[in-house]
Each structure stands twice: as C-alpha cells, then as structure tokens.
Structure 1
Amino acid sequence: MAKTQYYVPVGPIHPALKEPIRVEARVEGEKIVEVDVKRGFAHRGIEYMGMKRNAIQTLYLSERICGICSISHPYAFVVTAEKALGIEAPPRAQYIRTIIGELERIHSHILWLGVVAHEMGFDSLLFWTWKGRERLLDILELLTGNRINYSVFMIGGVRRDIKESHVKAIKDMISYYRIFNEEMKEVFLSDPVYKARTRGVAQLSKKMALELNAVGPVARAAGVRMDIRQDIPYDAYADIDVRAVVPQDIVGEARGDAYDITMVRLYEIDQSLDIIEYCLDEMPEGKLMAIPNYVALLAKIRRTQGEAIGAHEAPRGEVIHYIKFDGKRDGPSVWKVIAPSYNNINTWAPLLLGAEVADIPIVVAYIDPCMCCNDRIAVVRDEDGRVIDPATLHRKAVEKTRKLREELGVRT
C-alpha cells in the first residue's frame, strides 16, 4: 500500500525565513521525498538602475544589494571598474580595503553562527554571539562612520584613512576576538546538542559541491580548497599567503555537513584576525586615491572604452561583477552581478531529499542565503508556454482581484 504524501509549502513568507523564497516539499510522514525551490520574489532592478547612473552613484547603489555584507559588492565593483579603466589603487588603499573586507567577514560569520543557533531553537546562543559581534561593529563605525553601508570604497582607492589613533583600538579588538572565538569554538564544536543537530545534516559531498558549483564556506566545508583570495589574489592578499580553510586540515576529513561548515567559519575568523594584524603591521605609507578628483575620474570614464570581470571572496563566497564602459557616458553601459547565494541555493533540493521536515530551516540557513543578492526578474508564462507581458499580467491581476471581491461580497 502506497504511503500518503502531504504537500508542505515553506515561504515566501515564513517565520524561518528572513527573506522571501519558496520551498515546496512533499513528505511521507516526516521524510521529504520531493522538493522544488522557487526564487525571484525579491527583484528590485538594481542592475538596471545602475546602468542609468554615473559610476560613483552605481558604486554606492551596489552597496545596497546586500544589507549584511555591504562591502562585498562594492569591493567586487571597484576591482572590476579599475580593471576596465586601466587604473590601480595605491598600495595603502589596497591594505585598507583588505582590512575592511576581513572585518566584515568576521562580523558576517558571527552573525551566521547566531542565526543557525536560532533556527534550531538555541536562542541563548544567538544572543550571546550577537552581543560579541557588537565590538566589531563599533570598530567599523570608528573607521567609516557607519555600522553598515560603510561608503568607504572608491574606484581607484578609498575615501577614509586608518589613522594611528585607530590602530590601538583595532589591535585591542583583535585580542578580544582571539579569546571570544576560542569560547565560540568550545560552545559550537563541543556542545552535544548543537553537534547532534548538525552532524550529518545538510551533508554535501565534494563531488556534489563541484557539480552544483557551490562556492565559499559551503564548498570548503565539502573539502573543496577554493578561495578567490588564494586562487586569484588581489589588493593586499597578493602579499599574504592565504590558504583556504577546509575541514581536512583541522580534523583530518571533510564530511561537508552543517557541523563542518560551522568549523570552517570559526577557523576563518582566526584567519581574518591574522590578515588584519598583518595589514596593520605592514601598512605602506602613501596616498589613498589614484585619481583624487571625482570630476576627473568621471571624465576618464567618459573617455574609456573597456570591459572587465572582477571578483571578491565575500563571507558567503565569491562575488563576481562584470562592467562595460562604452566611452560615451560616465557610468557603466552594462553591469552584471553574480552573488554566492545564486550558486549555493542549488544545493537545497538535493540536500533536502530524504531529510526530515524539521531540518528544512537548518538546510536553508546552512548556505547563509541572501535573497536580495539573487535579484532576478521572474518570467511568467501562460498555459501554452508563452511569456506574459507586463500589461497582460496587470490586466489578469485586476480581473482576479475583482473576481475575489465578488466571491467574498466585498463592495468596491
């Protein structure tokens, strides 16, 4: 006798989701036997807007793609724009960029650790980690003036310097997180409840990670030694021997589950602290901008025909930007963005098959998804497979609303 299957929709609005996405699952008892992931609920048209502005305005628009990792997209944008324009940021600016990028990596990893704890009902751990994260946000505010959306990067350099008075505060912060991270390792990696809820859950093999084009900590947890800072070093990373953190280097093997990704992120915090300390000690003197005058910068963009692809290893994985300047205007004629969540969401369906319903929030949180980074338009087709144009879609929506009002007896 065939077992009864039930349809369980999760999202696009759900307490376990902080952003809109839809996971449609069919279950037998508590076991998931079929799953489909639907995205496209967060289209804001940022790429389109960016091609209607000058390059400096588009740079700060890129900072709004993701609210948590608000340096990731500006970092990829400036690296790409500089390649297309044939300019190079001064060495001091490159080191400052690297420091800001690693500060963001630490705060993003700590935020993720708290979110995963929250998804399994471990809210005391959420509050403890987020309290510890405040020290780092205070440093970012000291350096940039903001706790988020730092507005510090510029094409050809940075807008703010790290002064001698800032160095002591940063080094004190490093000392604080050396201790705090050891405490987090003890709690997350040794706690029997956390280990029981993550070991063997969301288990991604190395083969599957490569086939699904997983990136960042998701791929590294599966044992794939990949990191843009290691493979295609840029800015100060070119002076630092960055080695991708993988579980086999820590415990001798990689299982690729939620426990391993926790381990990878915790040890990447140590790595980031080392990088920041190195940059502070080896910081070169010099100017902050290749072209200090913004009017001159925009004039150069208007005279330049060029295109480039650039990448930054964000906390979630590689962020890739493509920019084309046509030599006719002071902004990009083409701008395309690919964020790590766009790759990593591909892992959800295979990871959820055979899992328990209660594991859905953990699998979803496992990749640290950002729906706004997946800013893509949704294409709607009719029953014959033809694309429905905006006017027809609007007319159908109005007709449906009127029909619902009539059925419910609602007066207009």
Structure 2
Amino acid sequence: MPYKLPLGPLHPAFEEPYKLTLSCKGEIVEDAQVEVGFVMRSIELLAQRRNYIRDLVLVEHVCGICSNVHASTMAMAVEKIGGITVPDRARYIRTIMGELERLHSHLLWAGIGAEDIGYHSMFMEIYFLRERVMDILEAISGNRVNYGMISLGGVTRDITDPKSILAMAEEIKKGLEKVVIPIFTQDKTIIARTKGIGTLSKDDALMYGTVGPLARASGIEEDIRESFPYAAYDDLGFKKVVLDSCDVQARVVVRALEMMESIRLIEEALKNLPSGPIRPEQVPLTIPDGEATARSEAPRGEVFYYVKSNGTDTPARVKIRTPSFVNIPSIRAMVKGQYLADMPLIQASIDPCCSCTDR
C-alpha cells in the first residue's frame, strides 16, 4: 500500500532545514514534495535600509560557504551603475578569492558526501584539505569564513606574498591528485553507491532551470565564467567540466575535476598578478540613479543580483537569486523510481543551501 514519509525539516543527512515528503510504494519512491522557507531572514529588505558599504557586509551573510561571491556580485552591479572601474590587480585578487571559495565549498560538499556514503576515512582526508584551503583564505583576508575582501571598486586587502600562497596551493593540489580525484573517480565503493542513482536527464535539468555543477553533470554546457566573463577569467582562460551521464556519479566527478581547474586558475592568477592599486583612490558614497544586474558563477551555480539606485547612498531595490533556489526543486525529478535508502545521497548530490534559498 502506498504511504507518505516525511524527511526533515530536521534530519541528520540534511545540512540545513528543508522538508521532503516522499510518496512511496514499498521501498520505491514514486514522488516527492519539497518545502523550503524554514530560515527566512529578509536580507533583501534589510539591504534596502542600509548604505552600500554596509550592504557588502550584509550580503556576505546570505551564505557562510559562498559569502565572497555574494559581496563581489553585488559590488559588480553597483559598479555598473556608478561607472566605477576596478583595477587589474583587484580583478585578479577577486578571481583568486572566488576560486578558493569554490575549492572550500566543493571540499565541504565532498566530505559530507563521503560521510553519507559511509566512507569515514575519506571524510577525514577531505576535511584535512579543506582546512588547508581555509588557512590560505585566512592568510589573505585574516578570516576563515566571511572574508570582508570586497569593496566598491576593488578589494580591501592585497596579496603581499604570492609565493607563500602558491606553495600552500601546491600542497592542496597534490592532495587532490593523490587522494580525492583517484578515489572519487575510480573507487569501486564510490562508483557502486553513485552510478545510475538519482538521474536528472538533460531535458529535466533544462525544465527546472538548474545551474552550476548540477546542470553540467546533466550535459548543460553553461558556466558564467565562460558565458559572461567577469573579474580576470577572460585573461586567465577557463575550461569548464561537462558530463552527460546525469547521475550522482557525474555530479561527484564534475565537482572533483572543477577543483583541479580552480587550483590552475589560482596558480595562474598568482603567477601573473598585475602591479598597481587594489582599489580607486576615491569611491563615491552616493550612487547615481540607475539599475543594473550582475551574474557570477558561485560554487553551486549562477548567482544573480539586481540593484536599483535612487541617487542616494542606499539602494532602492536589491533582488538576489541564488543557485539553490532553482536547484532544490529538481530533487523531485531525481527521486522518482529510486530506493528510499538512496534519498540522503541523492539530495546531498545537489549540494543544497537553504541559507541561500531562504535569504
């Protein structure tokens, strides 16, 4: 007899609170209803009551894992309205911070995925590398979570010793090449637990409007770093990772290979870091009338910001669309016909972020 089973909003396998109501027949899931909105914080409304400088700090708190990309994307929108030019050195530093944040996010996700599979030793190896990424972020910004690196027109801190950062990046690269990539792409246990599980066809991925690694694992060749280049991506070149097997294994491999590309981008940016200032000498406190949008490739996919100015130091409107907002609903397509026991792994494979979704 068919029955309904609630998972969440609080569940050991979920990073944050959201709820799946599964319609099951025996051990097979026939459908799912997804509910979000358990941690709404009204950040968009708050942003319209603070000045632009304070807003850059505020939007960093949309997500603790991808805080930098929110501040940099909002800054890009405001810079368009104000006609503010970002110096070359600042563009490169923004790129370095963005890719370090991607590394941190992907490693955090990989560790949780290894734990969901039951691969505890792999969890420890991955979190050791994650700590090293956080050490680099701390060395550059002074912070390990919210970095406070973005200012209008540039960045707040310079990279004064690129060689030491390069040495730390090389250590992470060796760990990825020797441990993470081989195990995630070749280990029989990982393959058995992920291959053919939670399939999201390309048609379904397009219908739900999925973005980021989730979309690229379903054959969608879209990455904002290539489609709408920003920061220093045009200068450094970029190789996106796209697979078409559409299952959990594809999502694992896409993120694993993206980490190697992030390391390459960080190394190239550090080796070719331009000289010059890290921000303009003067940045206006008030922004002229206008409106603009900005897009960035966050670790989970496209982040979209709309900012409208009314000529004061406070925005008239701020609208944020995060990747998890469009990715989470696609769980419904993934779970149909799957075993109930695979639900924690399938939902984890999209790397859902309710902090972003319920901003």
TM-score range, shorter chain: over 0.9
Distance between the aligned counterparts of 1:266 and 1:75, measured in 2? 24
Residue number in structure 1 paired with 2:340 = 357
In structure 2, C-alpha distance between the alignment counterparts of 1:29 and 1:72, rounded to whole Å: 43
Determine the structure 1 residue equivalent to 2:184: 188
**What root-mean-square deviation, in Å, do the aligned CA atoms of Structure 1 and Structure 2 show?**
1.2
Structure 1 runs of 4+ aligned residues shifted over 4 Å read none
Long gaps (5+) in structure 1: 248-253, 377-412
Distance (whole Å) between structure 1 residues aligned to residue 32 and residue 259 of structure 2: 34
CA distance, structure 2, for counterparts of residue 70 and residue 44 of structure 1? 15
Residue 297 of structure 1 pairs with residue 284 of structure 2: yes
C-alpha deviation, 1:326, in angstroms: 0.6
**Aligned amino acid, residue 192 of structure 2:** A
Distance 2:157 2:264 in 1: 22
One-letter code aligned to 1:342: F
- Secondary structure in structure 1 of the residue aligned to 2:118: coil
In structure 1, what is the Cα distance between the partners aligned to 2:128 and 2:271? Answer: 28
Could you state the TM-score of these two structures normalised by the residue count of structure 1? 0.85
How does 1:45-60 map onto structure 2 within 5 Å? 45-60=42-57
Output the CA distance in 2 between the equivalents of 1:258 and 1:75: 30
Match of 1:326 among 310, 335, 340: 310
Question: Helix, strand or coil: the match of 1:71?
Answer: helix
Mapped partners of 1:335, 1:135: distance in 2: 35
CA drift of 1:173 comes to: 1.8
In 1: Cα distance, 2:215 partner to 2:47 partner:
30
Q: Distance in 2 between matches of 1:318 and 1:109?
A: 15
Matches within 5 A, 1:71-86: 71-86=68-83
**1:251 corresponding residue in structure 2:** none
**SS of the residue aligned with 2:284?**
helix
Q: Is the 8 A contact 1:221 1:255 kept in 2?
A: yes
Residue identity in the other structure for 1:144: S
Contact 1:198 1:259 (8 Å CA) reproduced: yes
Contact 1:90–1:156 at 8 Å: present in 2 too? yes
Conserved 8 A contact 2:36-2:358: no
Q: In the TM superposition, what is the alpha-carbon distance from 1:170 to its structure 2 partner? A: 1.4
List aligned pairs for 1:326-345, cutoff 5 A: 326-327=310-311, 329-345=312-328
- Percent sequence identity is 42
Contact 1:71–1:150 (CA<8 Å) still a contact in 2? yes
Structure 1 counterpart of 2:208, which letter? L
Q: Looking at CA atoms only, which structure, 1 or 2, has the larger radius of gyration?
A: 1
Residue 241 of structure 1 deviates from its aligned partner by 2.2
Residue pairs, 1:3-402, within 5 angstroms: 4-163=1-160, 166-182=161-177, 183-247=179-243, 254-290=244-280, 292-293=281-282, 297-298=284-285, 300-301=286-287, 304-327=288-311, 329-375=312-358
**Cα pair 2:328 2:350 within 8 Å, conserved:** yes
> Cα deviation per residue 1:290-341 (whole Å; 9 max; x = unaligned)?
2x45xx521x32xx001100011011101111001111x2011100000000
Q: CA deviation at 1:373?
A: 0.5
Distance in 2 separating the partners of 1:74 and 1:98: 13
CA distance in 2, matches of 1:89, 1:333: 23
Task: Report the Cα offset of residue 278 of structure 1.
Answer: 1.2
Are the equivalent residues in 1 in contact too, given 2:108–2:127 (CA < 8 A)? yes
